[in-house]
Structure 1
Amino acid sequence: MKTKTIQKTLLNSALVAALAFAGTASASLFDSGLPSGWDCVGTCGALGADGDVTAPPTGSSQYGYVVSSSNGPTGIGLDGLVGTTGSTLKSNLFSAQDGDELNFIFNYISSDGAGYADYAWARLLNELNEEVAILFTARTTDSGSIVPGFGMPDPTATLNPDSVMMNPGAPNWSPLGGDSGSCFSTGCGYTGWIESSYNISAAGNYFLEFGVVNWNDTSFQSGLAFDGITVGGNPIDTNPVPVPATLGLLGLGLLGLRLRRKQK
Structure 2
Amino acid sequence: MKRSIKYLALVSALGAFGWMQPAHSAPIDISSWTCVGSCGTSTADGDVTLSPFGSSEYGWISTSNGPSIDGLDVGSETTGSTITSPLFSANEGDELSFFFNYVTSDGGTFTDYAWALLLDSNLNPALQLFTARTTPDGDTVPGFNLPEPDAEVSLDPSETPVIAGAPDWSPLGDSSGTCWSGGCGYTGWINSSFSFLETGNYALQFGVVNWSDTAYQSGLAFDGATIAGEAIGGNGPPNEIPVPATLALFFTGLVALVGIRRKDLQAS
Normalising by the residue count of structure 2, what TM-score does the alignment of the two structures yield?
Answer: 0.75
**Is 2:58 aligned against 1:60?**
no
**Is 2:143 aligned against 1:149?**
yes
**Is 2:98 aligned against 1:104?**
yes
Mark the CA change 1:121 to 1:175 in structure 2 (over 3 Å): closer, same or farther. Answer: same
Superposed CA RMSD in Å reads 1.7
Q: Tell me the SS of whatever aligns to 1:170.
A: coil
Look at both structures and tell me which one has the larger radius of gyration over its CA atoms: 2
Structure 1: distance between partners of 2:134 and 2:112: 6
Structure 2: distance between partners of 1:146 and 1:27: 30
Choose which of 159, 179, 183 in structure 2 pairs with 1:183.
179
For residues 200-241 of structure 1, what are the alpha-carbon distances to aligned partners after superposition, in whole Å with 9 as ceiling and x for unaligned? 111111110000000010000000001011101211227xxx
- 2:138–2:183 Cα contact (<8 Å) kept: no
Q: Tell me the SS of whatever aligns to 1:229.
A: strand
**Is 2:38 aligned against 1:43?**
yes
Q: 1:174-213 maps to which residues of 2 (within 5 A)?
A: 174-213=170-209
For residues 145-201 of structure 1, what are the alpha-carbon distances to aligned partners after superposition, in whole Å with 9 as ceiling and x for unaligned? 210001111102110000000100000001111110000011100000000011111
**Alignment match, 2:14:** none
**Alignment match, 2:66:** 72
Higher strand share: 2
Identity in percent: 55
Query: Could you tell me how far 1:29 is from its partner in structure 2?
Result: 5.6
Query: Could you tell me how far 1:79 is from its partner in structure 2?
Result: 2.9
**Is 2:124 aligned against 1:130?**
yes
Q: Which amino acid aligns with 1:96?
A: A
Q: Which amino acid aligns with 1:217?
A: D
**Alignment match, 1:232:** 228
Normalising by the residue count of structure 1, what TM-score does the alignment of the two structures yield?
Answer: 0.77
Structure scoring higher RCO (CA < 8 A, sep ≥ 6) equals 2
Q: Tell me the SS of whatever aligns to 1:178.
A: helix
Structure 2: distance between partners of 1:129 and 1:81: 21
- 1:119–1:137 Cα contact (<8 Å) kept: yes
Q: Which amino acid aligns with 2:163?
A: N
The number of aligned residues is: 211
Q: Tell me the SS of whatever aligns to 1:214.
A: strand
